[in-house]
Amino acid sequence: MQSPRDILADLWTLAGGDPAALDAVSLTGEEPQLPSSFRVAAAAQVSIAATGLAAAGIWTLRSGQSQAVAVDMTHAVAECRSERYLRLDGKPPPPAWDVIAGVYRTGDQRFVRLHTNFPHHRDAVCKVLQCKPEREEVAAALLQWNGADFETAAYAAGGVVALMRSHAEWSALPQAKALAELPVLTIEKIGEAPSRPWPAGSRPLAGLRVLDLSRVIAGPVAGRTLAAHGADVMLIAGPELPAIPWLTIDTGRGKLSSFVELKSEQGRHTLRALLAEADVFAQGYRPRALASLGFSPGDAARISPGIVSVSLSAYGHSGPWANRRGFDSLVQTATGFNHAEGEAAGIDGPKELPAQMLDHATGYLMAFGAMMAKARQAREGGSWHVRVSLAQTGRWLWGLGRIADGLKTQDLSGKAVQPFMEDVPSGFGQLHAVSHAAKLSETPAFWAQPAMPLGSHPPEWPQRG
């Protein structure tokens, strides 16, 4: 199996990085760190190290100054589970899942996973099953269904579910074959534009403006990472859109937070005005959803020539599932991870990865891609588009190899994580939260803005400098 350093070198080369820059990186710690047959710790360390290396490279472009980058593997793993270590005024997180979320058997003895944390997704599942949102009723109703038929019907009704597949079953699907043609992330020039000069500032991303239109984990983690290196990140939420409060707190560090109603012309006008002055436009809407409102990557490039657009999807931007909704837990289920972990553990049924690793690693890959594209924009000009997906990240993680007896590893203790925690104020109360794992010697990462409730700030950019 490749070492973490070799994995990082491949990722860095894929994104067009100078191989000489890898000499500045120190990766410490040993696998495994968590009970899993997959290399989740390596994925955590490498994806975070890539962002640190990109930030250091941008600082060199801006200042001429080089610096060392260090990432400890245990710290990286803790950051990729940051939501479970967060404490608000000393209190742990509330239950993470809706009462009917989780795994069920179907009538053909398959397993399906339901993601019902948002009310409209729960309502869609219950409409298909014609039952109340109670666990016993859902279980009984699903025993009347063929698993694949239920998956199809639930998606058609607006739900988000996944049939558990083996990796072989997933690999045989047209969607998996479409992804097999794609690297873990793509960076492409999509239009001509003059290069933008770097604004003044004492941090790698100081003065850069990032619009963050995302929810849950992957996209928000990307914005949080860019903010850690000094970017002005504005989280845009809809006043009527559901949210998961604990994740809003954890991933909101470093960001401004504004409400914009994209269903209204006034809201779209506001977003166009923000976009016209933005450097990065990161979004986690389903493919074509923002395009229908006039905010495709091509639209963004016309509104703001020289923009870097970053698009996140669940199952990739090509193939028959390109427009399918999804979350980390569902992509794990659909693409073979839950089946493989269950087999490795010797159980009859799915077993989850010990972290939302597809989400977190994808978030860091988003931030990495955004920074690498921005560096190219500064050198070459042009408007750029970065694309990632949870399923592509899953394919990358699978390709890193398996760890024999990895499931026998002891989980990280609170004592092991404690050195990486910090206490910070927020608009919610005092936070005890995981600090950023990429340590830069000259421009240390930190969050200048406290996490705030959604909609706390006007949709206006702060003055540069």
Tokens 């992957």 identify what position?
Answer: 218
**Between residues 215 and 346, which one has the greater pLDDT?**
346
SS3 annotation, the chain: CCCHHHHHHHHHHHCCCCHHHHHHEEEECCCCCCCCCECHHHHHHHHHHHHHHHHHHHHHHHHCCCCCEEEEHHHHHHHCCHHHHCEECCECCCCCCCCCCEEEECCCCCEEEECCCCHHHHHHHHHHHCCCCCHHHHHHHHCCCCHHHHHHHHHHCCCCEEECCCHHHHHCCHHHHHHCCCCCCEEEEEECCCCCCCCCCCCCCCCCEEEEECCCCHHHHHHHHHHHCCCEEEEEECCCCCCCHHHHHHHCCCEEEEECCCCCHHHHHHHHHHHHCCCEEEECCCCCCCHHHCCCHHHHHHHCCCCEEEEEECCCCCCCCCCCCCCHHHHHHHHCHHHHHHHHHCCCCCCCCCCCHHHHHHHHHHHHHHHHHHHHHHHHCCEEEEEEEHHHHHHHHHHCCECCCHHHCCCCCHHHHHHHEEEECCCCCCEEEECCCEEECCCCCCCCCCCCCCCCCCCCCCCCC
pLDDT of 406 over the 90 cut = yes
Model confidence pLDDT, tens digit, residues 445-458: 999 999 999 999 99
**Which pair of structure tokens corresponds to residue 132?**
């109340």
Residue 73 half-sphere exposure toward CB, CA atoms < 13 A: 17
Model confidence pLDDT, tens digit, residues 159-184: 999 999 999 999 999 999 999 989 99
pLDDT of 387 over the 90 cut = yes
Percent of the chain with pLDDT over 70: 100
Which amino acid is residue 76, in one-letter code? A
The CA distances from residue 34 to 78, 149, 358, 396, 443, in Å, are: 10, 35, 15, 18, 30
Burial 427-442 (b: 16+ CB within 10 A, else e): ebeebbbbbbbbbbee
Task: Count CB atoms within 10 A of the CB of residue 240.
Answer: 8
**Which pair of structure tokens corresponds to residue 180?**
């097999």
Q: Give the torsion sign (CA, 238, 239, 241, 246).
A: positive
Mean pLDDT of 316-336: 93
Q: Please give the pLDDT value at position 465.
A: 66
Q: Give the torsion sign (CA, 56, 186, 395, 246).
A: positive
Tokens 């409400």 identify what position?
Answer: 259
Sheet containing 25-28: give its strands across. Answer: 25-28, 69-72, 438-440
Model confidence pLDDT, tens digit, residues 355-367: 999 999 999 999 9
Mean pLDDT of the chain: 96
Mean pLDDT of 58-77: 97
Model confidence pLDDT, tens digit, residues 20-55: 999 999 999 999 999 999 999 999 999 999 999 999
Question: Is there a cis peptide before residue 32, judged by omega within 30 degrees of 0?
Answer: yes
Interstrand relation of 161-163 and 25-28 (parallel, antiparallel or unpaired):
unpaired
**Which pair of structure tokens corresponds to residue 179?**
């992804």
> Residues 336, 358: contact at Cβ < 8 Å?
no
On the 0-12 / 13-18 / 19+ scale of CB atoms within 10 A, 89 is exposed
Entry pTM: 0.97
List of residues 6+ apart from 303 with CB closer than 8 A:
272, 275, 276
Mean pLDDT of 412-436: 96
pLDDT of 382 over the 70 cut = yes
Least confident of 274-283, 285-294, 343-352: 285-294
**Which pair of structure tokens corresponds to residue 411?**
């989980």
Model confidence pLDDT, tens digit, residues 218-261: 999 999 999 999 999 999 999 888 888 999 999 999 999 999 99
